Amino acid sequence: MLVGQPNLLKPNKTLLLPLPTKPKQVSRATHLPTITKLFMLIFLTGMPGSGKTSFGQTLAQQLTLPIWDMDDLIEQKAQMRIPTIFEQQGEGHFRELERQVLHEIIEDKSASAIVATGGGAPCFFDNMEQINKAGISIYLDTPIYLIVERMLRKTQDRPLYQQATPEALREKLTKTFWQRKKFYWQAQIILKTEEM
């Protein structure tokens, strides 16, 4: 069981989920669907630096739900930082840990939560399919130029993008985006986040 998750929803109670900010454009849905269930997970997906954690914190506050950051949960499980996992055990091992943490979140039916996934989490194994079966998936569609600006400030925490020049970072992020786009676009809700 994951800690710090209060049981906030009562059986047979309908909850209409509001958006924390008004997005510039919303594809596939104009609002979050009405949900009637005791247990609810809202998964935030998107590129590294797309704002999953900060958007998730705002949404979690408004819905009075906890937010679980998958990268933090992976670090707790492995008892080491993600850059160290990549360096010592490789990306394959990291992706397996990521998959295990995702399954633990889905199987732990003790509480509802907002889940900020890692940027690559939906793109490996059958993770995106599992995310869509287990809850509501929201893709934060953020322009590459904005992601590059954010990433240049925090590359030390992002093992796949460390020591990159701005131009190399832009190229790598663009390539990564095109590889991952087909997974991100499987989300139930797509939010354009340029003005968020």
> 39-192 sits in which CATH class?
alpha beta
Instruction: Please tell me the predicted confidence (pLDDT) of residue 160.
Output: 63
Which residues, listed in sequence order, are joined to residue 113 by a DSSP beta bridge? 41
- The pLDDT-based confidence of 145 (bands split at 50, 70, 90) is very high
So where are the chain's domains? 39-192
pLDDT in tens, 16-66: 444 444 444 444 444 555 544 567 999 999 999 999 999 999 999 999 999
In contact, 159 and 87? CB cutoff 8 Å? yes
Residue reference for tokens 């869509």: 132
Instruction: Please tell me the predicted confidence (pLDDT) of residue 151.
Output: 84
| pTM of the predicted structure, to 2 decimals | 0.78
Which residues, listed in sequence order, are joined to residue 192 by a DSSP beta bridge? 141
Ramachandran area for residue 64 (φ above 0: left; ψ -120 to 50: alpha; else beta) = left
Q: Alpha-carbon distance 168 to 185, whole Å?
A: 25
